[in-house]
Each structure stands twice: as C-alpha cells, then as structure tokens.
A and B are shown apart, each in its own frame.
Chain A
C-alpha cells in the first residue's frame, strides 16, 4: 500500500534520514522502532508532507505522494496521529472529532463515525462538551486516535501513542490498534515500547540514526538477539 524508496531528509546540516526503504502492505500492522532521535517521527512527518524530503520518494498505491500538500495526502487516506497528541485544547472534544472529518462532506457518515469513536472510547462521549485541554493524558490520546479515525484513514500512522501513559491505558490503546486494523485499516506504528509494538505488528523495522538496520516479521524481531538487547532491555 505504502512504499518508501531511499527517503532522505536533512535538517540544515543534520542528515536525519539517510535513504530508508520501507513498505507497508495493505491490511497489515507495521511498526517502526528505534531510540530517541533515530528519525522515526521524521519518517512519518515526511510521509504526510509536513517535512520536505531531500531525496527519494513515497508512493501510495503506486502513485507518488511525496511533494504533495499535507491536506491532499490526508484526503488520500494517509492520516497521522502525531507525537504528543496535539489535540486542540481550546476546542471541545466533539469539535476535535469534527475537525478530523474537516475534508468530508458526508454528514451522515460523519455522524456515524463519531458514534463509532464514542463506542470505542466511551470516556470521550462522557466528555464530549468539555474542552480538549481539560482531558487527562490518556483521554487526550484516545481523542487523538479518535480524531484520526474521523478522517476515514486507509493508512493510519501513529507516533508513539503509548508515550507517558499508565500501563492499563497502554494496553487499551494497543487493543484498539488491533481492532482498528481488524476493521480493515492499515497501520504504521512508531513506538519506543518495542515489545508491545512488535507483539501486535505483522512486520517491524528498526531505525538507527537515520538508517534501517533490521527488518522482519514482528515475531521474529521479538526473538532477535540484537533487538532483545537494544530495545527490550534484556541483558545477556
């Protein structure tokens, strides 16, 4: 579904992505793991056009999307739930969700999807008229995911959805990711919580300072010695 070919990104003199290749097959969950500063967010941000790549290209179903404006890419079904949630604090929960559906004109569909999101996250329904800024961290993450779903993604990309959340909420978020995927949405998941990510993922990639150093099935990477040592905190 999504193909990244020798993608390169520079920030001034910093070569943040040094020609990475990555593919996300339709219907699967793919995860990209790596340490702080490896370039995970940069990868997602260049897919969605927030960062302009200095080399390589991104293809969505064989059509080049790199170079397009973010709003076009989003309308093609590539949606990013950004790092740090980035919900709109001055808008109500429901307005945040509606904004996810900003480019859509099917009123009934939007209404249906809002109810679907409320069914996934009953907590959001209780808080629907509350300002986004008053939600707890976990609720904000639910809202960020729900808002992403409102764009009717074909490919949902999530940047560290578990960051800073209590274990119970993390578990719930990963359950939801599986459910979203089971409903037919392809998922590209960036995580530092490598264990949880590799457990739900079909495929995994390991990114180190701008280069892909390992790739494989999620289960295989979980067993890989190098991954276990570097990302799962196991001492040999």
Chain B
C-alpha cells in the first residue's frame, strides 16, 4: 500500500467516524437525560437527508440553505416526536416508552416509504463538495475533508453548551437527578426538549452529509447507521458525550481500515460493529468512558 493510499483511507475513516459520532451523540444525550433508547433516532437521520434533498430538488434552494432549513426542521421534528410519543409515557414503566420508541421508528420508516417513495433517489451533490483536490500524490473529495471539519466545529459548540452554559449545567443536573433538578426550579420539560432538539439537529446534519458522501436516499437508510451508532454510543459508555464521540470514531476508523487492509473480510463489515460491542462489554461493561450509574426506575 502506498503512503498516499493510506492517507486517503485515513481521511475516509475520519469522515465516516465523524458521521457515526454525530449520530451517536443523539443516542447518548437522550439516554443520559431520560434513560431512553430513542430507536427512532436513525429515522430522524433519514428525515434530515430527505428534507435537504427536497429543498435542493423541489424548491431549488442552494445546498447550504437546504441544509440549514433541514436541520432546523428536523430539530423541531425531534422535539415534537418526544412530546407526542415519549412525554406522555415518562412516568410509565420503562418498557412502555421503549415500545413507543420502536413504534415511532417503524412509523417514520413507513411514512417515509409512503411520502418519499420506496425507490432510492439519487442525490445531486453540489460541485464544491464533490470536487477532487490534490495534495501532492494524495487526492481526495472535498466532502471527506469537510465532514470532519464541521464535525469538530459542532462538537466544540456542543461541549461549550454542555459545560459552560446555564442550560448545559441544567442538562447535567437533570441527567443525574431529575427530581432534585425540579427543586432547583429547572423546567425539566424544556431541558428534555432542548436535548432532543440538539440530538436531532446533529443527526440531520449527519444524514445530509451522509447523503452527499454516499449520494443515494431510501426510507430505510437510517436503520443500519442508527443501529451502529447506538452500538458506538454503548461502546463509548452510554450517557457520556465524549464516549459517543470516541465510539463513533473508533467504529468508523476500524470499519474503513478493515475494508482497506482485509478486503476479504469486507463482507462482514456490518457484523464487525457487533463483535466490537461484545468484546468491549465483556471487558468493560459500562463502555469505555462510561460510569456505573444507578438504574432509574
């Protein structure tokens, strides 16, 4: 393998890892606050990609405007989903809300087929994103560079919000003790909505970037990435944002490198995430950066 090829693999691995990290964060934040696995998160990712697609093709918005419209729309959609499907069940047994999440996921996928059509759609990738650039002997597509750059910027903003703002402080408080947070006059519903909004926004951004990198849409496109990113969040230690990022990058990097160096095994690409999950959980049941925490009842 030449050095330039290796470099290309690294860039690809970073960009896939970035996308995984963006989605995994949504799982981990929602879990951190509500101890809920939002099974519909992968479908939110799909929705974001479709909305941007229609923004570009139907309304002829410039791609960046379609991206902005889509992430805002999807963020509100995520907030609405929580209000309708999860909030009424917040004091019910855990299992009810889990089932509601699974139901929401199937509903969104079916609605996707109904509204967007089941046939895959080709995404018109904007020129700036599909340009090939050369650094010496290394050549790569701009989108593969742009994804990690934007991801790092978004992560920076997210960490700032969570660690330095009042709302972030309330989020951290709600995630350890909802009742005590209420006693501090924290409006828990607002914090939960905000969390769903952020998670959905990141998933939408991930979905759109995904559709520019792998330019094809179908209503089930969120299922596999959703599942893998949930795994990434668990590997990193669910509830921990740093863990979700670590898990996402780990999964993306290992996946690309496996395909690159062990091409005969590339058929097992998707199974690999599960193997990694099992190994990590056997060694460290709380995930790489997870802390043991009391199960909420």
| Interface locus among A95-103, A185-193, A198-206, A213-221 | A95-103
Interface assignment of A90: CB less than 8 Å from any CB of chain B: yes
Expressed in whole angstroms, the Cα–Cα distance for A79 and B184 within the complex equals 8
**Contact B169–A86 (Cβ < 8 Å):** no
CB distance from B175 to the nearest CB of A (A): 8
**Contact B184–A99 (Cβ < 8 Å):** yes
**Contact B185–A103 (Cβ < 8 Å):** yes
Given A82-B180, A86-B177, A102-B166, CB of A91 within 8 Å of CB of B172 = yes
The B interface is mostly helix, strand or loop, or mixed, namely helix
Interface assignment of B187: CB less than 8 Å from any CB of chain A: yes
**Contact B185–A74 (Cβ < 8 Å):** yes
- A151's contact among B180, B181, B184, by CB below 8 Å, is which? B184
**Contact B183–A88 (Cβ < 8 Å):** no
Number of interface residues of B (CB under 8 A): 17
Interface assignment of A64: CB less than 8 Å from any CB of chain B: no
Interface assignment of B100: CB less than 8 Å from any CB of chain A: no
**Contact B186–A88 (Cβ < 8 Å):** no
Given A86-B177, A88-B177, A89-B176, CB of A99 within 8 Å of CB of B170 = yes
- Chain A residue nearest to B163 in the complex (CB): A95
CB distance from B211 to the nearest CB of A (A): 37
**Contact B172–A90 (Cβ < 8 Å):** yes
CB distance from A160 to the nearest CB of B (A): 15
**Contact B180–A102 (Cβ < 8 Å):** no
**Contact A82–B183 (Cβ < 8 Å):** yes
- In the complex, what residues of B have CB within 8 A of residue A86's CB? 177, 179-180, 183
- In the complex, what residues of A have CB within 8 A of residue B166's CB? 98, 102
**Contact B187–A71 (Cβ < 8 Å):** yes
| Most interface-central of B169, B170, B183 (chain A CB within 10 A) | B183
Chain B residues in the interface with A (C-beta under 8 A): 166, 169-170, 172-173, 175-177, 179-187
